[in-house]
Amino acid sequence: MNKKYRVLVVEDDLMTQELIKEQLKNFDALTVVGSANTLLSAKDAIEDSDPEIIFLDIDLNGASSFDLIPYIKPTCKIVFITASPTQAVKAFEVNATDYILKPISLERLNKTVAKITDQMNEGEEEDSLSDNSKFKLDQMIMVNAEHKMVLIKVKDINYISAYGNYTKVFLEDNKMYVTYGSIKNWMHRLPKEAFFQIHRSTIVNLLNVIKIDKWTNDTGRMYLKNVNEPFEISRNFFSELKKTFKI
C-alpha cells in the first residue's frame, strides 16, 4: 500500500480553505486530517493531528502564522499561502518547502505537491543511508558553492542556516558559502557529538557554544563564538536539548 501523508490546512477564509481541501483530494499520496482558521485553533489542530504537511495561510485574521512555527515539528513540510509575493522571503527563512500565491490554481498546487512528495521520498532514502555517508569531525569535505567546489573541514563549520532550497554554511572565520541541500540532509551526515539542530532552519556547532540562556518556559537562546546575535532555540529543540545535556 502506498504511503499517505497527513495534511493540515490552515486558512482563515473558509471558502479558500474548502477549495484547497477539495483540490487536495485529487492527490492519492495525501490525506487531509484537519483544518483551522485561527491561530488558536491551528495550535490545537497541530497537536491533535500531528501533520506531515501543512498548508499555512500567512495572515490569519490579522495574526501572523509565523507564530505557529515553534509548535510545528521540524520534519513537517510547510507550504505558505499568501496574497503577497514579498512575504515569500520570510517564508524561506523558516525553512518552508514552498509558497503559493492566491488565487490558488490546480496547476500550481500540482507542482507544490510533486515537490513535497519528492522531498519526503528522498528523506526516507536518506534515513536508510549507511554510516559510510556520515561525516567525521576532522574530515575535509567538498561543497558545491556558487558554481565552484570548496574544500572545508567539518569541525570548522560554525553554523548552517536554511536558505530556500539551499543552505548557508558559516565557518568559524566568518566565511560563508551558499550550497544546495537541506537542513535534514546536513543533520543526517554531520557528527552528532558536535552538531545540534536548534531550530527547523538552524544547525550549530556545539563546540563553539559560549552560553545558553532560558528565554521563555519553552524556548532558549544560544550564543556562539564569532557571532554577535544570539540564536533562538525553538520549543521542540529546546526540550530535546535539555534532555540530551541535562540542563
Write down which residue in 127, 161, 186 finishes a domain: 127
Provide the pLDDT confidence category of residue 143 given band limits of 50, 70 and 90: confident
pTM exceeds 0.85 for this model: no
Does one domain contain both 80 and 185? no
Of the residues 60, 92, 127, which one is the last residue of a structural domain?
127
CATH of the domain at 94: 3.40.50.2300
Query: Above 50 in pLDDT, residue 128?
Result: no
Q: 188 with 210, same domain?
A: yes
- Find out whether 60 and 35 touch, Cβ atoms under 8 Å: no
Task: Examine the domain organization and report whether 118 and 17 are in the same domain.
Answer: yes
Q: Is the pLDDT of residue 42 over 80?
A: yes
Whether residues 15 and 112 share a domain: the answer is: yes
Residue scoring higher pLDDT (142 or 177): 177
pLDDT in tens, 59-97: 998 899 988 988 888 788 999 998 887 776 677 667 788
Q: Dump pLDDT digits (tens) for 166-221.
A: 899 999 999 999 987 788 889 988 999 999 999 989 999 999 999 998 888 788 99
* One domain for residues 82 and 148: no
CATH number at residue 189: 2.40.50.1020
Query: Of 127, 152, 179, at which residue does a domain stop?
Result: 127
Regarding whether 47 and 90 lie in a shared domain, the answer is yes
In the chain, how many domains are there? 2
Domain ranges, residue 175? 132-245
